[in-house]
Chain A
Amino acid sequence: QVQLVQSGAEVKKPGASMKVSCKASGYTFTSYTLHWVRQAPGQRLEWMGWIIAGNGNTKYSQKFQGRVTLTRDTSANTAYMELSGLRSEDTAVYYCARDPSSSTWRVIDYWGQGTPVTVSS
């Protein structure tokens, strides 16, 4: 069965960087795109970007452009999301999520369990 297993909770100080991993199993990793979505406490889902696992192409939300980097390691079936210049407003649960679409990345059929990140001095 499809599984996306993310790394554990993190506590970071303002100005630091964080890197969340997302290990995929149960499907051909390079045949799908992965989205990263975050949700601040009590807030809505917020799309951050996608990465095509096959060729590494990425697209980022304008809001995070310059601060977020999505990468993947095809030998480990793992995707990564790195966010720099952390501030308190980045406190949220971060999700990786699989998209089965091709060329118009528009739907998420499987989600990771979420990685809580707290940014606090």
Chain B
Amino acid sequence: QSALTQPASVSGSPGQSITISCTGSSSDIGGYNYVSWYQQHPGKAPKLIIYDVSYRPSGVSIRFSASKSGNTASLTISGLQAEDEADYYCSSYTSTTTLVFGTGTKVNVL
């Protein structure tokens, strides 16, 4: 199972909105509404911010939103803040009952 494809980095200024894409195939993203997104700060364990394509766990900022179209999922961060600078990973359930992660995107707040 190949990794899902994400852009290596995305940048934005404070207050702006940015979008991170995550592209897979019909065997993962396209086949199920089971995409999750994780935020990871340096030296820390990842944190769940979106599950099942567009649901936010309790306590996660409403500035994080997500969607899916075909084989591509997207995460949008609105009102970008300095604390949003981190690595972001998508993941998806697959047709072989495994989990696959994306290549990861570094978000830079300018």
Contacts and interface: CB of A to CB of B under 8 A. Distances in A.
Interface SS of chain A: loop
B99 interface: yes
Nearest to B36: A107
Interface size class of A (residues with CB under 8 A): 20 to 34
Interface size class of B (residues with CB under 8 A): 20 to 34
A57 to B, nearest CB: 10
B5 to A, nearest CB: 11
A108 interface: yes
A59 B94 CA distance: 12
A95 B89 CA distance: 15
Interface of B: 1, 3, 32, 34, 36, 38, 40, 45-48, 51-52, 57, 89, 91-93, 97-104
Interface of A: 35, 37, 44-47, 50, 59, 61-62, 95, 104-109, 111-114
